[in-house]
Amino acid sequence: MAQSGLNSTVKLLGTWGSPFALRAQVALHLKSVEYEYMEEVLNSKSDLLLESNPIYKKVPVLIHGDVSVCESLNIVQYIDESWPSDPSILPSHPSDRAFARFWAHFVDGKCFETINAVAGAKDNDVRMAMAGNLTDCLTSLEEAFQKSSKGGYLFGGENIGFLDIACGAMVGPLSVVETFSGVKFLSEDTTPGMLQWAEKFRAHEAVEPYLPTIAEFLEFAKKKFNVQ
C-alpha cells in the first residue's frame, strides 16, 4: 500500500466556489500545512483529476505524495490523522466523534439535497415546499448545535472542529437559497444558535480567506441554475 510522510508534497484539486473544497482548505489551514492549490475547470477535467479520482471524477482531491484522497469529509479526517499536531479537528472522545460524523453525513445526505432542490426549482410552489424541508433540516441541526456547543459559538465550543467544517460548507449556498426563496432559513426566532454560528464561522481566520462573498456566491448560482 502506498504511503506518504509528513514532508511529502501536498496538492489540492478544487474549483472556485466549491463548498466541498472549502472543507479541505479550512482543514489544511488549521493544521498549517503548506500545499499547492490547483484550480479545476469542471467542464474540461484535467488528466490529473481523472487519474486521482477515477470513480467520481470530481473535486476536491487531496494528493499527498503518492496518495490520492477523495471526498471532502474523508479528506478532512485524513488531514487530521496525518498531521496530528494541535489543533485537533475531530473530537477526542469516541462518542463525540460518532456524534460529529453522524451530523456531518446528515448535512451531506439531507441538507445539501434540499438546498439544491430549493435553488434549482423552477416552480415557486415546488420551491416553497422544498424550503419547508430545508427548514426542518436546519431545525434538527439547531438541536444538535445546542447539544454540541456547550454554550460556545461553534459546534466544537470555542474551537473550530469537524462538524463546524462539515456544516460550514452550507454557509454560502444557504445565502443563495435565502435570496432565491425569500425565506430566512437562519433566524433569531427558529435557529438562534446556528445564526450566530454562521457569523462566527464566516469570520474565522481559517475560513475567511477561502469563502467567497455572498454576492459572488449569488452570481455563481444564477449562472449554474439559469436564474435571473
pLDDT band at 42 (very low <50, low <70, confident <90, very high): confident
What's the gap between Cα 76 and its chain centre? 10
Give the residues across from 90 on adjacent strands.
Answer: none
| Interval 64-103: pLDDT, tens | 999 999 999 999 999 999 999 999 999 999 999 999 999 9
Average pLDDT, stretch 21-37?
98
Terminal alpha carbon distance of the chain: 50
d(CA 47, CA 67): 16
Q: How deeply is 131 buried, as exposed, middle or buried, from its count of CB atoms within 10 A (0-12, 13-18, 19+)?
A: buried
The Cα 22–Cα 207 span in angstroms is: 8
Q: Using the predicted structure, report yes or no on whether residue 175 has a pLDDT greater than 50.
A: yes
Torsion angle (degrees, nearest 10) of CA 148, 154, 158, 159: 100
pLDDT for 131 beyond 60: yes
Q: Which of 84-93, 117-126, 142-151 bottoms out in mean pLDDT, i.e. has the lowest?
A: 117-126
DSSP class per residue in 30-48: HTT---EEEE--TTS--HH
Decide if pLDDT at 133 tops 80: yes
Give the pLDDT mean for 118-145: 92
Give the Cα separation of 85 and 88 in Å (integer).
7
Q: At how many degrees (to 10) do helices 94-106 and 72-82 cross?
A: 150
Looking at the predicted structure, is the pLDDT value of residue 174 above 60? yes
Q: pLDDT exceeding 70 applies to what percent of the chain?
A: 94
Contacts 24+ apart (CB under 8 A), 181-184: 181/118, 181/127, 181/128, 181/131, 183/128, 183/131, 183/135
More confident position, 151 or 136: 136
Helix (H) or strand (E) holding 165: helix 162-168
Residue 1: pLDDT above 60?
Answer: no
pLDDT at 172: 92
Q: Categorise residue 2: left if φ over 0, alpha if ψ from -120 to 50, beta otherwise.
A: beta
Q: What is the DSSP letter of 157?
A: B
DSSP assignment of 50-62 = HHH-TTT--S-EE
Please state the pTM of the whole predicted model. Answer: 0.93
- Please give the pLDDT value at position 3: 52
